[in-house]
Amino acid sequence: MSETQQETLSFQTEVKQLLHLMIHSLYSNKEIFLRELISNASDACDKLRFQALKDDSLLGDDGDLSIRVEYDKEAGTVTLTDNGVGMTRDDVIANLGTIAKSGTADFLKNLTGDERKDSQMIGQFGVGFYSSFIVANAVDVYSRRAGTPEDAGVHWHSEGEGDFSLSEVTLAQRGTRIVLHLKPEETEFADGWRLRNLIRKYSDHIAIPVQMLKESYDDPEAEKAEDSAVEWETVNSAKALWTRPRSEISDDEYKELYRHISHDFGDPLTWSHNKVEGKLDYTSLLYIPKKAPYDIWNRERIRGLKLYVQRVFIMDDVEQFLPMYLRFAKGIVDSNDLPLNVSREILQSDDAIDTMRTALTKRVLDMLSKLAKKDPEGYQAFWDEFGQVLKEGPAEDASNNDKIAKLLRFATSHTGDAAQTQSLDDYVGRMKEGQDKIYYVAADSHQTAKNSPHLEVFRKKGIEVLLMSDRIDEWLMGYLREFDGKSLVDVARGGLDLSGVETEAEKEAQQKANDDHKPLLERLKTLLESDVEDVRMTHRLVESPACIVVGDNDMGAQMRRIMEAAGQAVPETKPIFELNPEHPLVQRLEQEVSEDRFADLANILLEQARLAEGSHPKDAAGFVGRLNKLLLDLSR
């Protein structure tokens, strides 16, 4: 193996920080380095297998893909070699020297200071290769990409400090070889028995054979004769786990496969392994994670399931199998009905994909429904992590609206706290006799929703109201119009319909109030015509003097504020101003003869109503001036 002159390059700043962390701070779960490196090697073999479907010359005369693990006790090294797709010089720099694909910055942002917890984040942020430096004080990587000449190899070397070196090297074999030079205190890993156990523990499920040199353990100290034949043996089962019967697979094996495909160090919350036979033949293994990834809100992030066709890896992150609102789900689909040369274009138009997407979506929703029934605490943990993502469902998947609605959780006026723990089924089960609607209010915060003046009549009558404060909530309710035959009604919108729980006397009193106070209402309409659409008396208020409501077909206040904050144009609409005829301030307003004082008090009541629903006064300085003037008058 010949090698050209070395070139020294610097790591990006974030990678330097990460390496320092790996070397000096993370001591827990040291053994995961082997799992991470084997997973990377397995991915490299899968990629080559897929590329070889179009160009079988990439395999050459070396078509048996494998991963080999060796060790040298005297030298204190562990070596992993794969004959997968390999890397070019640019690939090595992008994958091992920069932050481009590692997610390192986000990893560093999320550090807790707890070594055990921080080490468990390694897989979650895709920085698995750097875990090598937990056990090694130097790492050499030799790699040549499939289809390139022997002299196109590259040698990467780093001692985990501020820089790394690169040189061109001649390599007879394609693929990648990683040599870990173990720290003196980590030489326990230069041991065949130890390595075999780690491979079976973490990588038994990998479909690529993981091999080691065959050796006898009758005498651990015995040295192999120099003339003994080199014989490799497969250490892992090297059989795709999802192709085995469920009865033969342990929970630990399911969990380990999840870690492999998700790069998450933790256990999944739940999973479902299913084989479908009939018009379509395919196997699916779906997982629900416990924790949301750091980029869950980036809708452009890579997502989706792994696709295999007849156990041949085809594609990572196939997003066509599940809708966007289920982007948290991980898993594998292995089909017998798709062509081996399946491409992204075919995936977008193939009828079989549409059928599988419908079935897989239903299966994920059924998994969540079953979890909610059997393990409410587990489901609540899921909701706390992914609830806002699931709320995207009704807008994206009208055909499954009923299923999604049963999975939603809300805070309510009956529970009091901000925790979203109540289902719509819970709400319906507590509805008042005669109540035929589900009531809700949306605001920018739980506290604003909880203290909304629109809830006063509901508290008086003991009617529960859903309290919504997530940014997505008002948008959600635009698509979730009914549940269990009962319409969902925004209590801050239009005329309040309390049919079923309102007496005839109360309805007559409402009409009488508008008739009795008609002069006041006309006076206010004239004064506030540029600010409000209408002025009327209301029965929704008990303690507050006034409130504002939006028209039945107008954009809600929460959605309006979100769109304005995002710089989006919003339609010009005016709210309806409602007054409580029983409140002393309204009665004082009605008696006021001075037009100036009438105008001041009317505007103060309007701006107070805006504040109560979470908006800012239209004229903050004018509001403060009027309020100060009123306070001075009262003090005289």
Under the banding of pLDDT at 50, 70 and 90, the label for residue 368 is very high
3-class DSSP state for residue 190? coil
Question: Which structure tokens are listed for 379?
Answer: 């489901």
H helix or E strand, kind and range, residue 535: strand 534-537
CATH no. for 243-379: 3.30.230.80
Q: Which of 12-26, 249-263, 411-425 has the lowest mean pLDDT?
A: 12-26
To which residue do tokens 């015995």 refer?
A: 222
Q: How high is the pLDDT of residue 82?
A: 96
pLDDT greater than 70 at residue 17: no
pLDDT greater than 70 at residue 545: yes
Average pLDDT for 429-455: 91
CATH no. for 409-490: 3.40.50.11260
Instruction: Kindly report the backbone phi and psi dihedral angles of residue 165, in degrees, each rounded to the nearest multiple of 5, phi listed first.
Output: -115, 150
The predicted-structure confidence for 499-520, as pLDDT tens digits, reads as follows 777 777 777 887 888 888 999 9
Q: How high is the pLDDT of residue 207?
A: 82
Q: Which of 153-157, 317-321, 601-605 has the lowest mean pLDDT?
A: 317-321
H helix or E strand, kind and range, residue 610: helix 595-612
Under the banding of pLDDT at 50, 70 and 90, the label for residue 15 is low
Residues 458 and 413: their CA atoms lie apart, in Å, by 9
Residues 6+ apart with CB under 8 A from 79: 68, 69, 70, 71, 72, 177, 178, 179, 180
pLDDT greater than 60 at residue 100: no
The predicted-structure confidence for 242-298, as pLDDT tens digits, reads as follows 988 999 999 999 998 898 888 787 899 999 999 998 888 999 999 999 998 877 887
pLDDT greater than 90 at residue 586: yes
Q: Identical fold at 7-218 and 518-548+574-635?
A: no
Average pLDDT for 482-498: 88
Q: How high is the pLDDT of residue 511?
A: 83
The predicted-structure confidence for 454-489, as pLDDT tens digits, reads as follows 999 999 999 999 999 998 898 899 899 999 999 999
The predicted-structure confidence for 522-537, as pLDDT tens digits, reads as follows 999 999 999 999 999 9
Q: How high is the pLDDT of residue 127?
A: 52
Q: How high is the pLDDT of residue 28?
A: 52
Q: Which residues of 73-189 form beta strands (DSSP E)? A: 77-82, 136-144, 153-158, 163-169, 175-182
Burial (0-12, 13-18, 19+ Cβ within 10 Å), 64:
exposed
Average pLDDT for 23-29: 53
Q: How high is the pLDDT of residue 101?
A: 44
Among positive and negative, which fits the CA dihedral 129, 131, 135, 137?
positive
pLDDT greater than 80 at residue 160: no
Sheet with 163-169: strands ordered across: 7-10, 163-169, 153-158, 136-144, 175-182, 77-82, 67-72, 210-213, 232-234
3-class DSSP state for residue 209? coil
The predicted-structure confidence for 338-355, as pLDDT tens digits, reads as follows 765 565 545 666 788 889
Average pLDDT for 574-584: 92
Under the banding of pLDDT at 50, 70 and 90, the label for residue 107 is very low
Q: How high is the pLDDT of residue 99?
A: 41
In this structure, are strands 534-537 and 576-579 parallel, antiparallel, or unpaired? parallel
What fold does the segment set 518-548+574-635 form as a domain? Four Helix Bundle (Hemerythrin (Met), subunit A) (1.20.120)
Average pLDDT for 227-235: 78
Average pLDDT for 397-413: 95
Domain 7-218 indexed as CATH 3.40.50.10800: no
Q: How high is the pLDDT of residue 224?
A: 47
Q: How far is CA 406 from CA 5, 351, 423, 517, 520, in A?
A: 65, 29, 7, 45, 46
pLDDT greater than 90 at residue 573: no
Residues 616 and 533: their CA atoms lie apart, in Å, by 18
Q: How high is the pLDDT of residue 508?
A: 82
Q: How high is the pLDDT of residue 349?
A: 60
Q: Which residues of 227-292 form beta strands (DSSP E)? A: 232-234, 270-276, 282-288
Average pLDDT for 107-121: 50
Q: How high is the pLDDT of residue 392?
A: 94
Domain residue ranges of the chain, discontinuous segments joined by +: 7-218, 243-379, 409-490, 518-548+574-635
Under the banding of pLDDT at 50, 70 and 90, the label for residue 330 is very high
Q: How high is the pLDDT of residue 1?
A: 61
3-class DSSP state for residue 353? helix
pLDDT greater than 70 at residue 167: yes
H helix or E strand, kind and range, residue 411: strand 411-412
3-class DSSP state for residue 154? strand
Q: How many residues does the chain have?
A: 636
Task: Choose between 26 and 341: higher pLDDT.
Answer: 341
In this structure, are strands 210-213 and 67-72 parallel, antiparallel, or unpaired? parallel
| Predicted TM-score (pTM) of this structure | 0.70
The predicted-structure confidence for 292-325, as pLDDT tens digits, reads as follows 887 788 777 778 898 887 766 777 778 889 999 9
3-class DSSP state for residue 55? coil
Please choose, from the candidates 534, 524, 526, the residue with its C-alpha nearest in 3D space to the C-alpha of residue 494: 534
Q: How high is the pLDDT of residue 122?
A: 42
pLDDT greater than 60 at residue 580: yes
Is residue 268 within 8 A of residue 290, CB to CB? The reply is yes
